[in-house]
Structure 1
């Protein structure tokens, strides 16, 4: 039986086909490509035969008519790169006076749109969106003026612009922590208003026990053995003492009030006793018909016991001329 040989031409064609396939697949280098679309990040593998447009299509990312890319769509992938997608956006910036300013940006942020609108934010003016937020088509950005509040706390007074809605939110915004007894004016539930004054008073309440004197009193005793108009100390007075516990309120470090909440007598006071003389010198001769006083005679003498609580009696002398005299005894 005779062996047949394969034609040399067919062998060469097969080898050429294999070489072509190797060149088409083996020679294309692959790279890691990052696609940044606003805040969205996509990682994809691409090869050197592809351009930016091919990579975006493979990643399923669609571009608008006015959107742009960096690098350009027709640029070949030549290494590990980041493709930045710049989205077109037509937005409106509203100023503090209500004026609406249309702005067009490609790949811009809120800050870019405000700058392009010719607006410079002044103290206390804020945006209703974060400055680094990427723009989206049809977006509205509003500039507002925050209310100014005068804050007094811990010995310092300052003007503060705030976005808080209530006094309570304002204190949280300013990182002010209230103690158990601290006071705030106005009430924490009150709504923030422009020009409002907010005062925080640091209140500390302490208890203190002190020793105090109890003043002695003076009392008098009448004595008929002492001449009228003379006095004598029968007993010297001495102060007593007591322990008093006070609840003291300090506001911003200064005493505001104190209240006695407990009291204990440790020594009773000793009263002073003063003896008052009531003895009268006689200026008549006595009797109902023989005495005289300055050319007049005593007609009668009547005695009245202590009737007014003074501690001594009264004698009433009636003279011949009809005059009368009251003399203590």
Structure 2
């Protein structure tokens, strides 16, 4: 046998051996009966398991809640986590004055109760004070209790059982108060829900007559613990004629010496007729009150001329004489002196006729002392000391 034949035989033997090994290896992975069905059922089982778990979570999230809105309750199912979310889901709007229990941020669990109480505006006048308040009560009685208003003996403007709608209502309440009324020397204390002092006085059994009044306005609201005094008033009227002062009007006159004033027109007072109301309060006379005035006669003004002319410095032939001594003798040195008869006046006791003949205006006693001395000097130059028969000698003393 040649090597070629032997070698070919050996290779053939090895090739056959390899083929048998390969068949044995492939035989290990051959599908067994039923393996394909198992692989097809596995995904379906996973889906069923997922759905079962989701249903459990779904059921766990659902909550049974009892929701009461303004007294109307109902049970519902929700997935909401808190009160605000629940109310939003249910379309329940809540205002600033409404009450939610538990609070809007509270978490909720199955079996919880959530209540919404709508607030109602009440325009409340309590013992004379007006204000707007809010209440979640459904009746007037409930509102008064909620607001802490003392109801015993109180006046309420409407039935306490009246229901309050969402629009609210106006309510006037007067609580019972203690008021003491002093009248005719006696004190009477009453418990009253009166609206005015006048009503409280009447409840005390006191009658106001004529001009009678009270120490506080009768239409005012009586306060708890207040003391009201009744004033018994009698009175009448009195008419008096009263003078109206006249005005003094001064005008400058350059023909008169400075310091001289001459009354050109004497003033005359007017007349006013005045009506006074007279009152006696609890037996005590009050100051008369002027209620009416009528001008009967208008006053006449007094017109006065005021001199502006400078006085002369001297009178020749008379300046050296003792005029102070003469004045002391005639009038005691008083420029406004008047004798007992009313005829003579001034420092040097001029009569009015002589005074005016010397250029004076008005009466001598109304002129300044300097002018009186000046005119006395002029009289001396004209007549010597004879106008002063008793005191003329003083001029040379």
**Normalising by structure 1, what TM-score?**
0.43
Larger radius of gyration: 2
> Quick check: which one's strand share is greater?
1
